[in-house]
Amino acid sequence: MSIVGSRRFNNTTKMVEKTLMVEGAQNATRLIYNVTQTIGEMKVDIEPYDKGVARRLDNTTTKLNKATITLLDAVHDHKSLFDSFLRTL
């Protein structure tokens, strides 16, 4: 009985961990999206006055978007590992 309970506890723990990881990544990507939208609005306002700053804002947006892709890829990879692990339990 304690082995079954222990397996259930481990399984539940891994499911919670996976859920938190996925939700955290989703929250982070939403936040990054909001930031890049705001940067885009700032760029439109600044561009007529300083093209150099506008280019740097574009570069920042590109880096943030790449970071989002990297984050989502990492979460997907880890989620797949969690799923495989949970299937073995």
* Whether the model pTM is above 0.75: no
Q: How far is CA 56 from the centre of its chain?
A: 23
Residue 81 token pair: 């590992």
Q: How many residues does the chain have?
A: 89
The identity of residue 79, as a single letter, is K
Closest CA to 75 of 28, 7, 10: 28
What digits encode the pLDDT tens for the residues 47-59? 999 999 999 999 9
64 vs 70: CA distance, rounded Å: 10
| Residue 17 confidence (pLDDT) | 79
